[in-house]
Amino acid sequence: MSSGKQQPELVVPRSVAVIMDGNGRWAKKAGLERIRGHERGIDAVRTTVTECARLGVEALVLYAFSEENWQRPQREIDLLFRLLKRFLVEERHTLMKNRVRLLHSGRRERLSKDILQVLDESIAATAGNDGMQLSLAISYGGRQEIVDAVRVLAARVQRGELTPAAIDEATIHAHLYHPQLPDPDLLIRTAGERRISNFLLWQVSYAEIYVSDVCWPDFRAEHLLAAFVDYGQRVRKFGKVL
Ligand code: IPE
Ligand code: IPE
Ligand code: MG
């Protein structure tokens, strides 16, 4: 470049997590029912999955339904899960085409039999893919994930397989839902909210946080790329002096 002015560099994070927020606000602004926002959010999911896979992201975790979201009106919950089911069936070919391996993060207990069935079918159908790992966080809570890990560890201690002194960070990590997923380098939240909302509490300890003001149904490839450019400007120190 003749001016000598450097373009900010786009850096693709190894691992990305997204709090897909603002569907309700998007719908309200458009004078529509909240569920229309969730419906339109599917386009943003498809775009984000496809772009991340294309750019070489290794792991993507999308927050689709939190443990706390069970407190929403039953009608919204029912419609959300109907959409999720449709997504899991209709987007299977997108996952296959992009060699994406699907995973589920969260508790299975409260999920209906038919959701579990399509979820498990999609997980099985994509299990042989060698591309990006995509985990859908459904009925997921960060605290609950830690509680679930602690329960398994306590049982192992009780059986005499493990001593309390032998429990370290690696032991806890190994008992999370998907220990093979790298911790997120970049956590994106849409719709302007600056909070974690119980997402991946253990894993985000050194994630870079990027908040986009765009509501999730309006989130496009350009917004994802803007997040990656911003990520490229971050100085990651991990507590050290550089
Ligand atoms: C995110 O959008 C989707 C879910 C939490 C399932 P919201 O439904 O939270 O949208 P807002 O925050 O009300 O705008
Ligand atoms: C977080 O969004 C959960 C998901 C995106 C699935 P919420 O909209 O539920 O979070 P709060 O209530 O604003 O913290
Ligand atoms: Mg919200």
Cβ of 183 below 6 Å from ligand 2: no
Q: Please report the DSSP string for 158-203 in residue order.
A: HTTS--GGG--HHHHHHTSS-TTSPPPSEEEE-TT----TTSSTTG
Q: What angle do CA 137, 65, 29 make, to 5 degrees?
A: 130
> Which of 57, 47, 46, 50 is closest to 17 using CA atoms?
57
CA 128/CA 52 separation, integer angstroms: 19
The pick from 19, 20, 21, 65 for probing ligand 1's pocket by mutation, whose C-beta has the most ligand atoms within 8 angstroms, reads 21
Q: Tokens for 42?
A: 């599917």
Confidence (pTM): 0.97
Domain residue spans of the chain: 15-141+183-232
Class of domain 15-141+183-232: alpha beta
CA of 22 to the centre of ligand 3 (A): 5
Q: Within 13 Å of residue 142, how many CA atoms lie on the same side as its CB?
A: 14
Tell me, in angstroms, the distance from the centre of ligand 3 to residue 187's CA: 16
Report the C-alpha gap between 130 and 96 in whole angstroms: 10
Q: Nearest ligand to the C-alpha of residue 189?
A: 2
For 179, the token pair is 């220990």
Q: What is the token pair recorded at 218?
A: 């309006």
Contacts of 207 (CB under 8 A, 6+ apart): 17, 183, 184, 185, 186, 187, 200
The neighbouring-strand residues paired with 59 are: 15, 133
The confidence score (pLDDT) of residue 4 equals: 57
- pLDDT < 50: residue spans in the chain: 1-2
